[in-house]
């Protein structure tokens, strides 16, 4: 589990935006998600409940969202912690192969929209398995590399 | 008001012609920026306010509030000048995508502050969204509760709820209300629930809302076209907008605009929404249909029945609203399909049947060239573009004769004509959207943009069931509709149960896609864009694929069955195209 992110303090604009996102979340949390309140605005821990009727129904997962200094111009780092779901796009170290977290990030996205995308990704899964290259990838990430440093190849457009 | 001020050159304080320090801008040409601001090409760099106020707009990126924002040319979303400078880095080598809709070559324009009118509309929308959200939540609670009770009640009575549709429904039918029936899918539906599937790889967004296509309770629907209307249409509306909001759908403004159009049209415009849910037929009618259904079964017409029973309830349908798709063109399909479908109880079924009929009589196994189907529409003296509608009409006649559901259908027809107007408006709206995206068939087109489309179209179809009723209006709208209509035609046969057995697995988008693709092979490989759309639809939203064909309610199954039997009967009589002439 790569939890160490070289963190620079959030910029003013990032702080401001995250405060607002958090407030909005509290008023209107995305369905199936629960933000675990902490003092740390820069790292959110979010509980995910598998959507009913999907392979992950009644399962709980935890997402860790780390925000870079220049959020939202820069994407947050989002990984599963503890027991990542068995999913073809989720590596056993919690890294998630999902384009919006990397190349396709847009500053108009929010934590909330990320969460929904992730739940969507889970829900569309038809088989519970690790990515085929899981072992190799995880080995390469042993030094706590951030998934944001990975060059992802987004091959599955059915997510 | 604000407009004028913003437009007048000298009005802008020099302080606001340079960034306020929100970001550490690199590479910004301050002179150029100043000139752009003074020329009112970009919004002034007012210091953003923390809190919302009536006369301020929120920048969706920094979440600060400004008197006026720039708007993206592609999707009219607002952005403050400083965020824009960040997003659109001047030295970037590749063209910037719009952060909201992903259109390449992001560019903004400055139109001054929003007028009071615009703001009023927006606020009204927001209010409605909030209200509808509450309703959805409440509705779902009720629904969950009912579903649970239903399950408890039914568990001992019948084994498999799936089988019940084909066989068990008959006995049950007399005792259940439409509302109860709508609960039945709860089990199989949940199992196959997969609202998020899409083919895009982008953010597929869904929200497992099961209540959207269920029927209002009996008491609710006593006079379905008057009461339910407003409320239900709101519910649909919200739905789109909630998902929009949640879904990294950046296109909110445009969607909002379309949405506000539809929600501002009061009165009869709402009526068609109800069609989705109000099949509140008399018991008598139901029994007649039942009899027909059973007789069909006896005839050994196994294939369609099988496939129906295998996925009796297209849970998938629900996904249709929020599915996200690759090519904007694909969007035509589900909505188009839905259009026909949502129109009348039998509208969809009969449209399918019409196609099925042709398949049986003429084009067994082959595809219907789009042109031909159009021509046929013409022949039957209906509208040139509304292919489905002419046939639908004629089939409706048949259905009416056979089933004796004269009354209900007549009622629906009246209803249809009453909503003509809104249909026109809605159709125009949808067309605009089509055009807008038509130029952007790029795959990089964002999920949201297209989903937006989808919603618009869906909305259009829903309220504009009047497509059928107001063909004249559509005639004016030119070729897009024709295109939509015809590609719909081509798509349907491929999705017919006996053509695409693989499609039986609603959870498997890929399978459905391939099924659809197989189905389309016969015709026009060059027209892949149009013809493969069913495939795309299927893949994007396995839900949509099944949904588009499989009747979602018992009534629809009835209608479909009837229509099919009619078609077969006609085929047997070897009267080629007999029904089309009527």
ipTM for the assembly? 0.87
Would you say residue B490 lies in a domain?
Answer: no
In the prediction, which pLDDT does A34 show? 93
Chain B positions touching A11 (Cβ under 8 A) are 23
Would you say residue B521 lies in a domain?
Answer: no
In the prediction, which pLDDT does B93 show? 67
Please tell me whether residues B47 and B108 are part of one structural domain: yes
Does residue A131 have a pLDDT over 60?
yes
CB within 8 Å: A21 and B205: no
- Spatial neighbors of B448 by CB under 8 A, at least 6 apart, are B100, B101, B102, B203, B244, B247, B248, B249, B250, B251, B324
Please tell me whether residues B130 and B100 are part of one structural domain: no
CB within 8 Å: A123 and B195: yes
Please tell me whether residues B135 and B82 are part of one structural domain: no
Distance CA B556, CA B213 (A): 13
Query: For the packed helices B479-495 and B370-379, what is the interaxial angle rounded to 10 degrees?
Result: 110
Would you say residue B346 lies in a domain?
Answer: no
Contact of A20 with chain B, judged by CB distance below 8 Å, is answered with yes
Cβ-count burial B482-502 (b if 16+ within 10 Å, e if not): bbbbbbbbbbbbbbbbebbeb
Would you say residue B509 lies in a domain?
Answer: no
Please tell me whether residues B99 and B145 are part of one structural domain: no
- Domains (range + CATH), chain A: 12-141 (3.10.110.10)
If we measure between CA atoms, which residue out of B229, B203, B207, B206 comes closest to residue B216? B229
- Spatial neighbors of B159 by CB under 8 A, at least 6 apart, are none
Distance CA B532, CA B198 (A): 15
Contact of B192 with chain A, judged by CB distance below 8 Å, is answered with yes
Q: Are the C-beta atoms of B392 and B344 separated by less than 8 Å?
A: yes
Full residue range of the structural domain in which residue B57 is found: 14-113
Distance CA B195, CA B205 (A): 8
Please tell me whether residues B48 and B99 are part of one structural domain: yes
Does residue A17 have a pLDDT over 70?
yes
Please tell me whether residues B104 and B18 are part of one structural domain: yes
In the prediction, which pLDDT does B321 show? 38
Contact of A74 with chain B, judged by CB distance below 8 Å, is answered with no
> Taking the mean position of all CA atoms in its chain, how far away is CA B242?
15
Q: How far is A44 from chain B (nearest CA, A)?
A: 18
Residue A38, Cβ density class (10 Å: 0-12 exposed, 13-18 middle, ≥19 buried): exposed
Please tell me whether residues B121 and B57 are part of one structural domain: no
Contact of B77 with chain A, judged by CB distance below 8 Å, is answered with yes
Q: How far is A91 from chain B (nearest CA, A)?
A: 17
Domain boundary among B98, B113, B128: B113
In the prediction, which pLDDT does A6 show? 55
CB within 8 Å: A52 and B206: no
Q: Are the C-beta atoms of A141 and A149 separated by less than 8 Å?
A: no
Sign of the alpha-carbon torsion through A85, A91, A97, A101: positive
Domain boundary among B101, B136, B151: B151
Please tell me whether residues B58 and B141 are part of one structural domain: no
Cβ-count burial B204-213 (b if 16+ within 10 Å, e if not): bbbbbbbbbb
In the prediction, which pLDDT does A36 show? 92
Would you say residue B534 lies in a domain?
Answer: no
Q: What are phi and psi of B23, to 5 degrees?
A: -125, 165
Give me the number of domains chain B comprises.
Answer: 2
In the prediction, which pLDDT does B282 show? 66
Q: How far is B389 from chain A (nearest CA, A)?
A: 33
Has A141 been annotated as catalytic? no
Write the pLDDT tens digit of every residue in A54-76: 999 999 999 999 999 999 999 99
Please tell me whether residues B66 and B104 are part of one structural domain: yes
CB within 8 Å: B250 and A31: no
Please tell me whether residues B128 and B43 are part of one structural domain: no
Q: Are the C-beta atoms of B304 and B561 separated by less than 8 Å?
A: yes
Contact of A55 with chain B, judged by CB distance below 8 Å, is answered with no
In the prediction, which pLDDT does B269 show? 35
Give pLDDT tens digits along chain B (582 positions).
445 444 444 567 778 888 888 887 777 888 888 888 888 889 998 888 888 888 888 999 999 999 889 999 899 889 999 899 888 876 666 778 899 998 888 889 898 877 777 778 878 888 898 899 888 889 989 988 998 888 887 765 554 444 434 444 444 444 444 444 444 444 444 333 444 434 343 433 333 333 333 333 333 333 334 333 344 433 343 333 333 334 333 333 333 333 333 333 333 333 344 444 444 556 777 777 778 778 777 766 555 444 444 444 444 444 333 333 343 443 444 434 443 333 344 445 555 555 555 554 444 433 434 433 333 333 333 333 334 344 444 444 444 444 443 444 444 444 444 444 444 444 444 444 444 444 443 333 334 344 444 444 445 444 444 434 344 443 444 334 333 333 333 333 333 444 333 434 444 433 333 333 333 333 333 333 333 333 333 334 444 444 445 556 677 777 777 777 777 777 666 444 434 433
Q: Which candidate in A14, A97, A114, A141 is catalytic?
A: A97
In the prediction, which pLDDT does B133 show? 86
In the prediction, which pLDDT does B497 show? 40
Considering only CB atoms, A100 lies closest to which of B192, B203, B507, namely B203
Question: Is the pTM for the entire model greater than 0.95?
Answer: no
Would you say residue B293 lies in a domain?
Answer: no
Would you say residue B551 lies in a domain?
Answer: no
In the prediction, which pLDDT does B215 show? 38
Would you say residue B359 lies in a domain?
Answer: no
């Amino acid at each position: 589990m790569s939890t160490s992110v070289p963190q620079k303090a959030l910029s003013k604009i990032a702080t401001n935006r995250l405060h607002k996102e958090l407030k909005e979340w509290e008023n209107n949390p995305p369905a199936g998600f629960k933000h675990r309140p902490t003092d740390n605005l820069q790292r959110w821990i979010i509980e995910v409940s598998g959507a009913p009727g999907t392979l992950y129904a009644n399962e709980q997962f935890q997402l860790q969202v780390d925000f870079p200094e220049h959020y939202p111009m820069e994407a947050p780092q989002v990984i599963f912690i503890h027991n990542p779901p068995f999913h073809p796009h989720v590596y056993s170290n919690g890294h998630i192969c999902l384009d919006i977290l990397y190349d396709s990030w847009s500053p108009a996205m929010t934590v909330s929209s990320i969460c929904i995308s992730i739940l969507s990704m889970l829900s569309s899964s038809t088989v519970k398995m690790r990515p085929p290259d899981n072992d190799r990838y995880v080995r390469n990430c042993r030094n706590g590399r951030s998934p944001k440093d990975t060059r992802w190849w987004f091959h599955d457009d059915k997510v | 008001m604000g407009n004028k001020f913003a437009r007048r050159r000298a009005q802008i304080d020099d302080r606001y012609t340079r960034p306020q320090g929100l970001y550490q801008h690199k590479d910004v040409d301050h002179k150029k920026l100043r000139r752009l601001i003074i020329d009112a090409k970009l919004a002034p760099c007012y210091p953003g306010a923390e809190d919302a106020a009536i006369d301020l707009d929120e920048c969706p990126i920094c979440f600060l509030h400004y008197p006026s924002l720039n708007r993206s040319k592609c999707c009219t979303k607002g952005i403050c000048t400083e965020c824009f400078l960040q997003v659109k880095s001047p030295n970037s080598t590749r063209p910037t995508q719009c952060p909201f809709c992903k259109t390449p070559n992001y560019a903004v324009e400055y139109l001054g502050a929003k007028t009071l009118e615009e703001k009023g509309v927006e606020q009204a929308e927001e209010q409605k969204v909030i209200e509808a959200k509450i309703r959805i939540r409440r509705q779902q609670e009720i629904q969950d509760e009912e579903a649970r009770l239903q399950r408890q009640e039914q568990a001992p009575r019948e084994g498999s709820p799936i089988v019940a549709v084909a066989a068990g429904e008959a006995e049950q039918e007399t005792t259940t209300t439409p509302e109860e029936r709508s609960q039945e899918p709860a089990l199989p539906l949940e199992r196959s629930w997969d609202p998020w599937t899409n083919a895009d790889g982008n953010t597929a967004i869904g929200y497992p809302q099961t209540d959207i296509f269920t029927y209002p309770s009996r008491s609710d629907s006593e006079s379905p076209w008057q009461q339910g209307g407003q409320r239900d249409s709101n519910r649909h509306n919200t739905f789109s907008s909630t998902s929009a909001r949640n879904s990294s759908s950046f296109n909110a403004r445009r969607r909002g605009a379309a949405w506000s159009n539809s929600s501002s049209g009061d009165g009869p415009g709402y009526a068609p929404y109800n069609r989705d849910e109000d099949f509140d037929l008399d018991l008598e009618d139901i029994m007649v249909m039942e009899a027909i259904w059973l007789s069909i079964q006896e005839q050994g017409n196994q294939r369609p029945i099988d496939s129906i029973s295998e996925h009796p309830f297209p849970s998938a349908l629900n996904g249709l609203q929020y599915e996200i798709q690759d090519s904007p063109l694909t969007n035509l399909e589900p909505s188009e399909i839905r259009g026909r479908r949502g129109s009348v109880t039998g509208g969809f079924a009969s449209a399918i049947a019409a196609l099925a009929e042709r398949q049986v009589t003429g084009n067994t196994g082959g595809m219907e060239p789009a042109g031909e189907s159009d021509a046929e529409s013409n022949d039957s003296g209906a509208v040139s573009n509304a292919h489905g509608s002419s046939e639908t009409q004629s089939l409706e006649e048949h259905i009416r004769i056979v089933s004796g559901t004269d009354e209900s259908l007549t009622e629906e027809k009246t209803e249809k004509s009453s909503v003509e107007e809104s249909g026109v408006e809605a159709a125009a709206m949808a067309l605009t959207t089509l055009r807008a995206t038509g130029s952007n068939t790029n795959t990089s087109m964002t999920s949201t943009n297209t989903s937006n489309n989808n919603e618009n179209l869906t909305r259009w179809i829903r309220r504009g069931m009047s497509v059928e009723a107001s063909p004249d209006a559509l005639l004016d709208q030119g070729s897009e509709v024709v295109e939509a209509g015809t590609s719909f035609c081509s798509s349907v046969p491929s999705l017919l149960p006996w053509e695409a057995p693989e499609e039986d697995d609603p959870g498997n988008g890929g399978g459905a896609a391939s099924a659809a693709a197989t189905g389309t092979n016969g015709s026009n490989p060059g027209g892949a864009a149009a013809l493969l759309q069913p495939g795309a639809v299927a893949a994007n939203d396995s839900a949509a694929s099944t949904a588009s064909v499989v009747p979602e309610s018992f009534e629809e199954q009835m209608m479909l069955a009837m229509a099919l039997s009619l078609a077969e009967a006609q085929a047997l009589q070897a009267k080629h195209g007999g029904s089309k002439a009527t």
